[in-house]
Structure 1
Amino acid sequence: MSDALKTAQNRLSAVASTLTGGFFGSTPQFPAFDDLPKVAGEPQGCIWGFFDQDGERDECGTLNLLTPAVVQAAAREIHSGEHVQLDWPLHNVQFPGFGRKEFHQKKIDLQPSLNFKAMDDEVYINTQSGSQWDSLKHFAHQATGKYYNGLTHEEATQSDTNGIHNWCERGGIVGRGVLVDWLRWYESKNGSAPSAVSRHEITVEDLEETLKWQGTTTKPGDILIIRSGYVRWHNTASELERKSGTQENGIAIGLQGSERSVRWLYSHHFAAVAGDTVAFEAWPPKLDEGFCLHEWLLVQWGTPIGEMWDLEKLSKLCEQKNRWTFFLTSAPLHIQGGIGSPPGAIAVF
């Protein structure tokens, strides 16, 4: 790590250490975006070092916002006990994109070998081919080759640093989920929504209008979830449409990658974000403009990104209850150095 980076991280850690109760006692008050100490070689808005503790480099990013107090408050979202799992069936992506291998399950009859009637199964999954979390070592800043908190690409390939096991060891992901049902809002206003396999950009203004329409407010430490319609499209598409949309073109609806989006996301201080589309942000990103949300969320802030979550039943239950906030629990696969994982996510009302 360079001396300049160490200096910047020490300054951010010093800011953090002045906060009443620290990160694990209360929600920190972040500096304004433009007031964050400059990290050498990184754009304004980088928070490397902000969550470091006792000289140890942080590997959990904004999941540190899920303090016991935040989780206790989130538990008050539970009223009826109804619950919905948000993982898409693993076999659902019939034609994984980006050259990824499809899901495979092998069912094993144990009777011939063990002489009692029983079964096992073995599964193959590419953790990026269905409902997933992106870890903090999944996507680097493409110009610098660095991941969250200054981890280099070479270091990432040779270590477990920034792996998903860190999330599991801190107790998984538990907090208040907030569904921004953009699709339902958009269709109520316009009749029909843009194609999920077009590069339609959902704007911050859209999100704000949807939240207002729902009567929903967000809090620091929330887990933001955006419904864009990708899963609904895939559920009803023909085999040819699925192959074209998921494997041959690699284009998908999502949140706009822009300075406005970056500043809005920073100012809301979400613990994590997720959506039902391929990449959360409109894909492919415009890397040359400097506002690829993967680079900001995963790299600059350490904010996990959930993708291709099944939000259809959740959307219906939220509409039925006229409430778009809920208790959310997620148990990723406990794999040392894990790069992606099915979320194991459940919304509880």
Structure 2
Amino acid sequence: MNLLTPAKVREGLEEVREGRAFALGLPLTFPGGSSLNPNRLPPVHRPNLRHGLPNANCVLGSLSPGSSDVMNDDLVVLHTQYSTQWDALVHVGSLFDADGDGESEPVYYNGYRAGVDVVGPSNPADCGIPGPDGTTTVDLGPVGIGTLAAHPVQGRAVMIDLAHHFGTAHRVVSYEDIDAVLHADGVDVRPGDIVTVHTGFAQRIVSMAGDPDPAVLHAYGAVLDGRDPALLEWITDSGIAAIAADNYAVELYPAHPAGSPTSILPLHEHCLFKLGVHLGELWYLTELAAALRAAQRTSFLLTAPPLNLPGASGSPLNPIATI
């Protein structure tokens, strides 16, 4: 994201011709339930307490005689990567011999160390949804999402519309496929661009109205082939700033078997661990993709800051595209 220089912001602004804006974030309550990912639960939304009373439709006259106010104040227990999200660089690291001593240790982008720079609990009791007296137990450090949030995420973005070219049947997409789409649509991918990938997955989630069908969704739409060396080389050589897709994981998960030890998320490993290229998941891209195609365009201004939550492994967001 350091490639999002003032020059890249100006490039993005040059793509604004109509002044039409598109919200690319799903409701934070979507996909719905936990059947797609049992490790990520939907938000818990509750009123807080005001002097021991429920702070929902709270008539303040009972607390402040003479007041005519009625108040609501609330809280959310939120899994940061449940819905539309940015992955922080700390989201996926690797066992890597960073010391050159023949022993692999858990490290993250740029050599940040587990247990030193990235600190978390080992006791399961210190994990999961806390009780009323629960405290913060993790600080994922400088490779957490707070580092990204400290700098505005805005610049030129391009659309790769896989759903238009390949439909929504399950397909593992190679660099050859990507290259064909780039040429067919005249997509001009420049260094520092944010690449968005439309598969139709998020639109299918929306159509399920918070009750997702895993049997349908796990076999729905295109996914990138993280085992394709040509695709990984293109990501490196293109100099892009980030990739955001409308599906889970961006890539095929788990990836095709490739011996051991090896990453089951090789595109994540390549982008987050090796390159420092952030990944976005579950973005809502269908309306934007249709508008761009109708206008015979593929590029736009993207504004996509994460929440400024220091030390977190990811963040929800409501990105805005302007064309």
Higher Rg: 2
Give how far 1:92 is off.
Answer: 1.4
Question: Aligned to 1:216, what secondary structure does the other structure show?
Answer: coil
Q: Which has the higher helix share?
A: 1
Mapped to 2, the partners of 1:285 and 1:336 lie a distance apart of: 30
Partner in structure 2 of residue 161 of structure 1:
142
1:210 partner amino acid: V
Following TM superposition, the consecutive aligned residue runs of length 4 or more in structure 1 with deviations greater than 6 angstroms are 249-252
Pick from 44, 48, 61 the counterpart of residue 104 of structure 1. 44
> Within 5 Å, which residues of 2 pair with 1:137-216?
137-142=90-95, 144-155=105-116, 156-157=118-119, 159=139, 160-170=141-151, 172-187=152-167, 193-195=168-170, 200-216=171-187
* TM-score, normalised with respect to structure 1: 0.73
Matched, 1:297 2:246: no
Give how far 1:148 is off.
Answer: 0.4
In 2 relative to 1, CA 332–241 (structure 1 residues): closer, same or farther, beyond 3 Å?
closer
Partner in structure 1 of residue 23 of structure 2:
85
Partner in structure 2 of residue 312 of structure 1:
286
Partner in structure 1 of residue 246 of structure 2:
276
* TM-score, normalised with respect to structure 2: 0.78
Number of matched pairs: 275
Partner in structure 1 of residue 123 of structure 2:
none
Give how far 1:302 is off.
Answer: 0.8
Question: Aligned to 1:175, what secondary structure does the other structure show?
Answer: strand
Q: Is the 8 A contact 1:135 1:164 kept in 2?
A: yes
Question: Aligned to 1:219, what secondary structure does the other structure show?
Answer: coil
Mapped to 1, the partners of 2:206 and 2:184 lie a distance apart of: 26
In 2 relative to 1, CA 254–101 (structure 1 residues): closer, same or farther, beyond 3 Å?
same
> Within 5 Å, which residues of 2 pair with 1:1-349?
63-96=1-34, 97-107=37-47, 108-112=56-60, 115=67, 116-142=69-95, 144-155=105-116, 156-157=118-119, 159=139, 160-170=141-151, 172-187=152-167, 193-195=168-170, 200-237=171-208, 242-244=213-215, 253-257=222-226, 258-286=228-256, 288=258, 290=262, 292-349=266-323
Question: Aligned to 1:331, what secondary structure does the other structure show?
Answer: coil
Q: Is the 8 A contact 1:178 1:225 kept in 2?
A: yes
Q: Is the 8 A contact 1:141 1:147 kept in 2?
A: yes
Q: Which has the higher strand share?
A: 2
Mapped to 1, the partners of 2:317 and 2:183 lie a distance apart of: 28
RMSD over aligned Cα atoms: 2.4
Q: 1 or 2 for the larger relative contact order (CA 8 Å, sep ≥6)?
A: 2
Report % sequence identity.
Answer: 27
Q: Is the 8 A contact 2:30 2:210 kept in 1?
A: no
Deviations 1:75-114 (A, max 9, x none): 1111111000111111111123042221222253332556
Mapped to 1, the partners of 2:149 and 2:203 lie a distance apart of: 30
Mapped to 2, the partners of 1:147 and 1:272 lie a distance apart of: 17
Mapped to 2, the partners of 1:221 and 1:253 lie a distance apart of: 24
| Unaligned stretches of 5+ residues in structure 2 | 48-55, 97-104, 121-138
In 2 relative to 1, CA 164–239 (structure 1 residues): closer, same or farther, beyond 3 Å?
closer
| Unaligned stretches of 5+ residues in structure 1 | 1-62, 188-192
Mapped to 1, the partners of 2:18 and 2:83 lie a distance apart of: 29
